[in-house]
Structure 1
Amino acid sequence: MMQFTGTPSHSLHQIAPFSIPTMNKNQIHQARPWPGFPTSKGLASFGDANCMEQLLVHCANAIESNDATLAQQTLWVLNNIAPSDGDSNQRLTSAFLRALIVRAAKSGSCKMLAAMANAHRNLSVETHTFSVIELANFVDLTPWHRFGFTTANAAILDAVEGYSVIHIVDLSSTYCMQIPTLIDAIANRFEGPPLVKLTVPGVPKDVPPLLDITYEELGSKLVNFARSRNVMLEFRAVPSTHADGFASLIDQLRLQHLVYAEAGEALVINCHMMLHYIPEETSSPLPNTNSNPYTFQPTSNPSLRTMFLKALRGLNPTIAILVDEDADLTSNNLVCRLRSAFSYLWIPYDTVDTFLPIGSKQRQWYEANICWKVENVIAHEGLQRVERVESKSRWVQRMRNAEFRGVSFGDETVSEVKTMLDEHAAGWGLKKEDDDLVLTWKGHNVVFATAWVPG
């Protein structure tokens, strides 16, 4: 699901540099019409999500055009109608407003908002550092990650049947939380457990969730767990990051591939909500050909995502799994990006009431995580904006362009996912789109799972 952090301790009502009296809706409606806003008659439903989104758009436009008057007006309204402890729409809107203020402070635009943010540095989102047990329990609270774990594990087990050595490259934002369940399943194979090699890259720096142990320490725990299941596990962490498209990891895998490919070793590439951290076309100028580590880069300078997928294809994996959130947060236009994020990120706010009580620590971590994501999408640009989620259709096209061929998930996988969803709220659902599976909330796409083999 999302990365998880701590909750900011102050609401926007507490940080305004000017006095904003608390007003009810009738009092707000009596205020004079503002330029660019509907009349009081048109503001009859302030609690409506569409109205809140439009007000955020006005605020974003004001910040981008350095219109302090319009920014102050929209801020005044949003402060009164979107408390950070309100209903799901209000909490969502409050997170976006906070992100817009942070953006103003970073860019230096709209001096009123910039001064406001600089005077109250507690706008930044505090991060919670998880223990392994905390993170494992947290991930199990919602299907956001469990959906991908279930579909991927089922596809992997089918693909590696009969192999005595399985090399899994786990590109995951959840610190290998998927792997114990996979080890359990592998341990029960009819032909006996194989040797499992597990390779992981470094996770994006300062991107939640944060773990209280190193990857090496985590690897030792996984090795011990596998041993308890009579599975021999070799663990290796490769210093490699998303910023250069995991170049070091690709180089290491290429060297290993030359050694082990003919020995009949299965190579599994498991990509779980991490590929969208790889910079793509809208993030920054790409490195030149001479400095790029990928030997296949043509002079046309393709994006790092394209290069990474082509590098994976060159490794001829037994199977590649791609799981990610089904949204598009890549636009260079702030308003377009805001609208897209607003129409997607209502989902985690809407679902939280079904599985976490108000006031619980886990709920604070969960909702602050969404605040972090909103801030990254709205307040940052360039390589700092790592939340560049792409839709399923765009990733499918990328995989096909890299000469991968999609494979369907079997009926047993669908059944397993449905059984898992039965453990959660009734709003979660599953649908099949061509070869792919999609997790839904109240009919809206949330997370997609795809499986690929070399075409």
Structure 2
Amino acid sequence: MHALPLNPLMLLASHHRRLRPPPLLLHHCGFAPVKKLKLVTVEAIAMLGSLHHSSSDTDNNDNKNGNNNSGVLAAAVPSTRELLLACADLLQRGDLPSARRAAGVLLSAASPRADAADRLAYHFARALALRADAKAVGRGVDPGLVAAASARPASSGAYLAFNQIAPFLRYAHLTANQAILDAVEGARRVHILDLDAAHGVQWPPLLQAIADRADPAAGPPEVRITGAGADCDTLLRTGSRLRAFARSIQLPFHFTPLLLSCAATHQGAGASTTADSSAATSLELHPDETLAVNCVMFLHKLGGQDELAAFLKWVKAMAPAVVTIAERETAGGGFDRIDDLPWRVAVAMDYYSAVFEALEATVPPGSRERLAVEQEVLGREIEAALGPSGGRWWSGLERWGAAARAAGFAARPLSAFAVSQARLLLRLHYPSEGYLVQEARGACFLGWQTRPLLSVSSWQ
């Protein structure tokens, strides 16, 4: 398996076209106006560890003696956020021994099974520890051990659990599906290019809706999905499930896996380098098809402004009827500080603190599903955001919209039904006053309390 080269569009003289997508460098991205905090020393982090191990004894003695030193300790000990930023600063400056020691202390003081703030601290400390180990490769650390710890895909069970306990994916899928359904109304042949097919959970509701809308006299239209991804086996399993579902509703359907890149392989990680011959490495288009391009949680994986512009230009050349974009929203922003690791940590913490608070408020304590989701989905997103080859964050819809317009796209406002359907989803399946849906600037936003977390927009 190999990454697809960036190539001008290749138009063949036959009845269809084969296009090669631009190369995809998997990164996370974002911007936020994070206030620069005074970074504390590694000694202060060590202080946290000593306080953590002696806190119960201290509390007991204070209670017996009628003393209350909590105010003194609060003034002396920096916040967890400051400690994480200090660890990031040590990594930034190349002080790996201190950074690894700091991350270890933070890990010992936090727990993935405590309250939301503690769980968040644990996952950020773990991501920084993995970052320190990755930087230590070449300094005597076995690269296979680092790879085994950091390059594990989330299980399908954790992915589906995330879909059940949090509305983010279902909201993005439902809203994008409605935009696609509106755009392909009346088409006899529909082609959907899904740039991050994963387990394919987005598509059964759309296939069902297309079948239900079919004219009884003409019969259902033919639907073809090209599902893109980096893991060939996952794509093939996804295709099998979707084909079985389409047969069950008597919908003419085809699925083609599109291999964008292969996962990095390491000697100690047990990864395979063999590509399955069933996975295509070029995209086939037919002139009689109505094309929809689905970019749900995909654009942030592109490597930067130039690669984003090249990708959108490539999509525009295919003349799709609709392009759906769903991405995380970061607060404020406007400056790309990819090389500033403390900045990246602060931006990511602002976002994921709201996500963890939402799960804390809406999922029962001790939930196994939440533990799996935070470890296998959210925890690995945090690892990717802070990792040596990741961490690119953007300023949300403002950036995506500007890039789309620069590539020649115009906004396609979401229908009133799409917005009301998103609100109904929350009321029926995630009944909490904390989650809010708001329509603005032609897009639909999902947020927790006053914090926007995800936007869905449609372009043509």
TM above 0.5, yes or no, is: yes
Instruction: Please say if 1:405 is aligned against 2:410.
Output: yes
Instruction: Please say if 1:449 is aligned against 2:456.
Output: yes
Paired with 1:45 and 1:142, the residues of 2 have a C-alpha distance of 37
Instruction: Please say if 1:23 is aligned against 2:54.
Output: yes
Q: Secondary structure at the match of 2:113?
A: coil
Partner of 1:227: 247
Counterpart pick for 1:204 among 230, 234, 237: 230
Equivalent residues in 2 for 1:71-82 (5 A)? 78=106, 82=110
Partner of 1:325: 328
Paired with 2:144 and 2:192, the residues of 1 have a C-alpha distance of 46
Moved more, 352-361 or 433-442: 352-361
Alpha-carbon distance change, 317 to 91 in structure 1, aligned in 2, over 3 angstroms: same
The residue type equivalent to 1:140 in the other structure is Q
Identity %: 25
Partner of 1:150: 174
Equivalent residues in 2 for 1:2-151 (5 A)? 20=50, 22-24=53-55, 41=72, 43-44=74-75, 51-66=79-94, 78=106, 82-108=110-136, 128-130=154-156, 135-136=159-160, 138-151=162-175
Q: Decide whether the 8 Å contact of 1:98 with 1:123 is kept in 2.
A: no
Aligned residue pairs: how many?
377
Alpha-carbon distance change, 136 to 184 in structure 1, aligned in 2, over 3 angstroms: farther
Instruction: Please say if 1:439 is aligned against 2:453.
Output: no
User: What is the RMSD of the two structures over their aligned residues, measured on CA atoms?
Assistant: 3.8
1:356-405 Cα deviation digits (max 9, x unpaired): 44444322221112221222222323xxx276565221111110110000
Shift of 1:122: 9.2
Paired with 2:410 and 2:89, the residues of 1 have a C-alpha distance of 43
Q: Secondary structure at the match of 2:195?
A: strand
Shift of 1:199: 0.9
The residue type equivalent to 2:408 in the other structure is E
Shift of 1:163: 0.9
Alpha-carbon distance change, 190 to 215 in structure 1, aligned in 2, over 3 angstroms: closer
Partner of 2:221: 194
Shift of 1:437: 0.7
The residue type equivalent to 1:60 in the other structure is A
Q: Decide whether the 8 Å contact of 1:223 with 1:233 is kept in 2.
A: yes
Q: Secondary structure at the match of 1:426?
A: coil
Q: Secondary structure at the match of 1:234?
A: strand
Partner of 2:201: 177
Q: Secondary structure at the match of 2:398?
A: helix
Shift of 1:343: 0.5
Structure 1: segments with no counterpart, 5+ residues:
4-15, 29-39, 206-210, 282-302
Q: Decide whether the 8 Å contact of 1:22 with 1:80 is kept in 2.
A: no
Shift of 1:317: 0.5
Q: Secondary structure at the match of 1:332?
A: coil
Q: Decide whether the 8 Å contact of 1:200 with 1:236 is kept in 2.
A: yes
Partner of 1:391: 396
Alpha-carbon distance change, 214 to 337 in structure 1, aligned in 2, over 3 angstroms: closer
Shift of 1:429: 0.6
Q: Secondary structure at the match of 1:84?
A: coil
Q: Decide whether the 8 Å contact of 1:373 with 1:387 is kept in 2.
A: no
The residue type equivalent to 1:439 in the other structure is L
The residue type equivalent to 1:194 in the other structure is P
Alpha-carbon distance change, 365 to 154 in structure 1, aligned in 2, over 3 angstroms: same
Shift of 1:154: 1.1
Bigger RCO of structures 1 and 2 (CA < 8 A, at least 6 apart): 2
1:92-114 Cα deviation digits (max 9, x unpaired): 112112222222222239x9xx9
Q: Decide whether the 8 Å contact of 1:436 with 1:450 is kept in 2.
A: yes
Paired with 1:69 and 1:41, the residues of 2 have a C-alpha distance of 30
Counterpart pick for 1:308 among 306, 311, 319: 311
1:28-77 Cα deviation digits (max 9, x unpaired): 9xxxxxxxxxxx8583496xxx9221121122222333457975895587
Partner of 2:259: 239
Paired with 2:146 and 2:213, the residues of 1 have a C-alpha distance of 57
Paired with 1:330 and 1:344, the residues of 2 have a C-alpha distance of 16
Structure 2: segments with no counterpart, 5+ residues:
1-27, 29-45, 60-70, 264-278
Q: TM (normalized to structure 1)?
A: 0.72
Paired with 1:101 and 1:118, the residues of 2 have a C-alpha distance of 16
Partner of 1:31: none
Q: TM (normalized to structure 2)?
A: 0.71
Equivalent residues in 2 for 1:244-263 (5 A)? 252-253=283-284, 256=285, 260-261=286-287, 263=288
The residue type equivalent to 1:373 in the other structure is E
Alpha-carbon distance change, 242 to 108 in structure 1, aligned in 2, over 3 angstroms: closer
Shift of 1:333: 0.9
Counterpart pick for 2:353 among 333, 340, 346: 346
Alpha-carbon distance change, 419 to 61 in structure 1, aligned in 2, over 3 angstroms: same
1:308-363 Cα deviation digits (max 9, x unpaired): 11011011111110111113797221011111001001122112234444444322
Alpha-carbon distance change, 220 to 118 in structure 1, aligned in 2, over 3 angstroms: closer
Q: Secondary structure at the match of 1:407?
A: coil
Runs of 4+ in 1 over 4 A off after TM superposition: 25-28, 66-77, 117-128, 134-138, 248-251, 386-390
Paired with 1:218 and 1:106, the residues of 2 have a C-alpha distance of 32
The residue type equivalent to 1:22 in the other structure is H
Paired with 1:120 and 1:228, the residues of 2 have a C-alpha distance of 44
Paired with 1:390 and 1:63, the residues of 2 have a C-alpha distance of 25
